[in-house]
Homo-oligomer: A and B are copies of this chain.
Amino acid sequence: MEALTINEAAETTGWSPRMLRYIERAGLIVPRRSDAGYRLYGAGELQRLRTLRELLARFGIALSDVGFARRMREDGELEEAVGSWLKAAAARPEEVPASDWLRWEQDKHNKLLNELMEAA
Contacts and interface: CB of A to CB of B under 8 A. Distances in A.
Interface of A: 24-30, 32, 42, 44-45, 48, 51-52, 55, 58-59, 61, 65-66, 68-73, 75, 78, 81-83, 85-86, 88-90, 92, 94-96, 100-102, 104-105
Given A92-B45, A96-B30, A68 B69 contact: yes
Contacts of A89: 28-29, 48, 70
A70 B44 CA distance: 30
Give the dominant DSSP class at A's interface.
helix
A32 B73 contact: no
How many copies of this chain are found per oligomer? 2
Nearest to A94: B32
